[in-house]
Amino acid sequence: MNEAVDLRSALNEHAIVAITDRQGRITSANERFCEISKYSREELLGQDHRIIDSGDHPREFFQELWETIGRGAAWHGEIKNRAKDGTFYWVATTIVPFAGAGGKPRRFVAIGADITEQKRVEAELAERLRLQRLLADLSTRFVGLTSEHIDAAIEKTQRLIVETLGLDRSTLWQLSEHGEGLVCTHCWQRPGWPALPPRFTTRGSLPWSERKVMRGEMMSFSSLDELPPEATRDAETFRLHGPKSNVTFPLIANGQVFGALAFATLATERKWREDDLTELNLIAQIFANVVGRQRAELREEQIRAELAHAMRVAMLGELAATLAHELNQPLAAILSNAQAARRFSAIGELPPGELQSILGDIVRDDKRAGAVIQNLRAMVSKRPIIRESCCLNELVREAVELIRSELIDAKVEVRLALPPAVPRVDAARVELQQVLVNLLVNALHAMNVTPPEARFIEVETRHEAASVVVVIRDRGDGIPLERLPVIFDPFFSTKANGLGMGLSICRRIIENHGGRIEAHNHHEGGATFTFTLPVRDRGVS
Amino acid sequence: MPTSSIQVYIVDDEPSICTAYARLVRSAKMRPRTFASVEDLMRSDFTDQNACVVSDVRLPGKSGLELPVLLGRSGHHLPVIFVTAHDSAETRDLAQRLGAASYFRKPVDDQALLDAISWAVSAQLRVS
């Protein structure tokens, strides 16, 4: 008897206990029940469990519960309840039916343990897991995407992150080429929030954040109050455009900040946990990779266009004699035809039909001259080429990158020996690119008949006195001796379809830059092209 | 010496130029014959009598500049007048040293060319 009393008091000490009648009305609730539900015993008695129903369990959940205890079996399960103050709590519950007369349950005793904390940890772990899965997914998500598909993928990913982490907005910023600071290029936010203005920039509106990010530092606040006094302007902007809490990561490629990835909450403030920041930072790094690649592709595209343009312009210069000739021929014919006609008519001895054929020829030749001019105009465009401080190692890498697919197709390997200490030169980037691409493509073509396993191009840069020397060597058959002296002359070409302009353009570009270019055959086989450029003059002071 | 008997051999790879010069020559009552290359001329049955050559310099095959030497070597006495679009001091010097009768830049004025032809032919007559 005493044992039963002891047991009951021990149970009350440990567990949440409630007893209900057959209809489910609460007839008894212990201290812990009242404590966790925040209802007084008086409020509970006579009520059924709906008073603490969280509404989160489906109808079938309770149907199964009642069915189990209705046939006299005990029910075990986890129930999410709602306390009087609206907060939720989880109870691992066992309900035991006690039979009365006729074997039907007379009352039910529910015993439970508070598992709210455990549930919270579980939920957090689940979120962690989702985030990690997301991270794993992200790193493969962008693989093989072409530039035009990346934009869509970026925004889709921003959405995924925002939704997974329960945030409201993610913005991607990229450094403007026109000195406007960071410009927002991609934004995803939950519907219902006012959109950011188009081409929103940090310049003037977020000076403190911009400086911090451009220094390569992460910037975060869990509430606007956390912003330092020097960020007053930023705080105003944040207030105007919504973020109640925010975290911004710099995007870095080749040691330079080129953008930022930001996450914000708009509805409520959010305390950023260390784990959040670590994982978001990882995400930012993946973005840095992807966006960096996209920017590089864009730049490559620009280089290609500029290169093509420079080629045309240079070709025109090189072709000046040819073009003059092309114009001169019809002009010469027109003049002689017209003068012949004048002479014939002056002496009154114009042969029959002669005038018609003379005029016909003049018209034809005039049209031919017009076509030459037309062509010329089509080839000329006006973008100016400026000289700047260039790193030849970088230019070599870019040139190799530009012809990468050709190298792959031709099964040619490029071996680079580019010591980092090579000084910079003052040069027109596009023109040097053109020289490098030209020499590389020549080297590649020179190995058409070389066995694939022996096809490689060696590119070496070195610092020699006041010059930077670039050596490009192939493993082809070399240059026939009789061609060596004329190889840089215009119109010399070993290619049936080539204009023969390539190497003469190269020479002109190099000499324009105050350098020299030479070709010779390597004693171990293959052709070697060497050019030098004067080291950038740092000025004497 | 009546000009009607002057024979002018025109060498130019551009047919429209050949046609135009031939007309000019005819309008001055001279007799033109046109050739597309040095080789074409050398293969043909031409005579030195009262004749001269008007030739381009840059031609497919042999250069026009070789004409004075080739003609001389094959025993001909035929003055050569050059008319070229590729005018340069070097070419001009070279043409002169090789014995060109005259040297013109394209486009050439009718009177200058016709005078040069007459002068070259009469100079040739004086020599021979």
* pLDDT above 90 for B11: yes
Measured in angstroms, the CA of B23 and the nearest CA of chain A are apart by: 6
Are both A515 and A392 inside the same structural domain? yes
Query: Which residues does chain B have within 8 Å of residue A351's beta carbon, measured at their own beta carbons?
Result: 26
pLDDT of residue A496: 40
Q: What percent of chain A has pLDDT over 90?
A: 27
Under DSSP, the state recorded for A66 is: H
**What tens digit of pLDDT does each residue of A160-174 get?**
888 888 889 999 998
Single out the residue of A368, A465, A470 nearest to residue A417, CA to CA: A470
Considering only A36-40, A324-328, A479-483, B7-11, which range has the smallest mean pLDDT?
A324-328
Q: A292 vs A391, which has greater pLDDT?
A: A391
Are both A188 and A272 inside the same structural domain? yes
Does residue A189 contact residue A246 with C-beta atoms inside 8 Å?
A: no
**What tens digit of pLDDT does each residue of B54-84 get?**
999 888 778 899 999 999 999 999 999 999 8
Are both A80 and A133 inside the same structural domain? no
**Residue A509 is assigned to a structural domain of this protein:** yes
Q: Which amino acid is at A130?
A: R
Average pLDDT, chain A: 83
Q: Is A328 on the interface with B (CB under 8 A)?
A: yes
Chains A & B: contacts with CB separation below 8 Å: 73
Are both A352 and A415 inside the same structural domain? no
User: Chain A residue closest to B111 (CA)?
Assistant: A339
Are both A249 and A135 inside the same structural domain? yes
ipTM (interface pTM)? 0.93
Measured in angstroms, the CA of B110 and the nearest CA of chain A are apart by: 6
Measured in angstroms, the CA of B4 and the nearest CA of chain A are apart by: 14
Beta carbons of B109 and A335 less than 8 Å apart: yes
Q: B84 vs A492, which has greater pLDDT?
A: B84
Q: Is A490 on the interface with B (CB under 8 A)?
A: no
Are both A334 and A459 inside the same structural domain? no
Count how many domains chain B has. Answer: 1
**Residue A514 is assigned to a structural domain of this protein:** yes
pLDDT of residue A301: 59
Two tokens, residue B108: 């050439």
Measured in angstroms, the CA of B16 and the nearest CA of chain A are apart by: 6
**What tens digit of pLDDT does each residue of A267-287 get?**
888 888 887 888 888 888 888
Single out the residue of A300, A309, A269, A317 nearest to residue A504, CA to CA: A317
User: Chain A residue closest to B83 (CA)?
Assistant: A332
Query: Which residues does chain B have within 8 Å of residue A330's beta carbon, measured at their own beta carbons?
Result: 16
pTM: 0.44
Does residue A365 contact residue A330 with C-beta atoms inside 8 Å?
A: yes
Measured in angstroms, the CA of B22 and the nearest CA of chain A are apart by: 9
* pLDDT above 70 for B124: yes
Sign of the CA dihedral running A73, A74, A75, A81 = positive
**What tens digit of pLDDT does each residue of A307-350 get?**
656 665 665 665 565 567 778 889 999 999 999 999 999 988 88
Are both A396 and A529 inside the same structural domain? yes
Single out the residue of A211, A210, A227 nearest to residue A173, CA to CA: A210
CATH code, domain carrying A394: 3.30.565.10
* Candidates B12, B24, B88, partner chain A, best to mutate (most A CBs within 10 A): B24
CATH code, domain carrying A203: 3.30.450.40
Are both A368 and A392 inside the same structural domain? no
Query: Which residues does chain B have within 8 Å of residue A321's beta carbon, measured at their own beta carbons?
Result: 86
Q: Is B49 on the interface with A (CB under 8 A)?
A: no
pLDDT of residue A500: 44
Helices (H) and strands (E) in chain A, counts: 15, 17
Measured in angstroms, the CA of A324 and the nearest CA of chain B are apart by: 8
Under DSSP, the state recorded for A424 is: P
DSSP secondary structure, B21-78, as one string: HHHHHHHTT-EEEEESSHHHHHHS----TTEEEEE-SS-SSS-GGGHHHHHHHTT---
Measured in angstroms, the CA of B6 and the nearest CA of chain A are apart by: 17
pLDDT of residue A305: 56
* pLDDT above 90 for A7: no
**What tens digit of pLDDT does each residue of A408-447 get?**
767 889 999 999 989 999 987 777 877 888 898 889 888 9
Helix (H) or strand (E) holding A34: helix A31-37
Q: How far apart are the first and last CA of chain A?
A: 106
**Residue A243 is assigned to a structural domain of this protein:** yes
CATH code, domain carrying B85: 3.40.50.2300
Q: Which long-range contacts (CB under 8 A, 24 or more apart) does A164-168 make?
A: A164/A127, A164/A130, A164/A131, A164/A134, A165/A127, A165/A131, A165/A263, A165/A276, A165/A280, A167/A263, A167/A264, A167/A265, A167/A270, A168/A193, A168/A242, A168/A264, A168/A265, A168/A266, A168/A267
Count how many domains chain A has. Answer: 4
Two tokens, residue A246: 């925010």
Query: Which residues does chain A have within 8 Å of residue B17's beta carbon, measured at their own beta carbons?
Result: 329, 332-333, 336
Beta carbons of B107 and A331 less than 8 Å apart: yes
Are both A202 and A252 inside the same structural domain? yes
Q: Which residues pair with A517 in a beta bridge?
A: A531
Average pLDDT, integer, range A233-241: 85
Give A320-340 as a 3 state SS string: HHHHHHHHHHHHHHHHHHHHH
**Residue A539 is assigned to a structural domain of this protein:** no
Beta carbons of A343 and B110 less than 8 Å apart: yes
Query: Which residues does chain B have within 8 Å of residue A348's beta carbon, measured at their own beta carbons?
Result: none
* Candidates B27, B84, B108, partner chain A, best to mutate (most A CBs within 10 A): B27
- Residue A134: give the domain boundaries: 128-293
* pLDDT above 60 for A216: yes
Q: Which residues pair with A91 in a beta bridge?
A: A79, A114
* pLDDT above 50 for A499: no
CB proximity under 8 Å: A 349-368 to B:
351, 354, 358, 361, 364-365
Quick count: other Cβ atoms within 10 Å of Cβ A493? 16
Are both A361 and A492 inside the same structural domain? no
Q: Is A336 on the interface with B (CB under 8 A)?
A: yes
Are both A82 and A33 inside the same structural domain? yes
- Residue B32: give the domain boundaries: 3-127
> What are the φ and ψ backbone dihedral angles of A458, each rounded to 5 degrees?
-105, 130
Query: Which residues does chain B have within 8 Å of residue A339's beta carbon, measured at their own beta carbons?
Result: 24, 27, 109-110
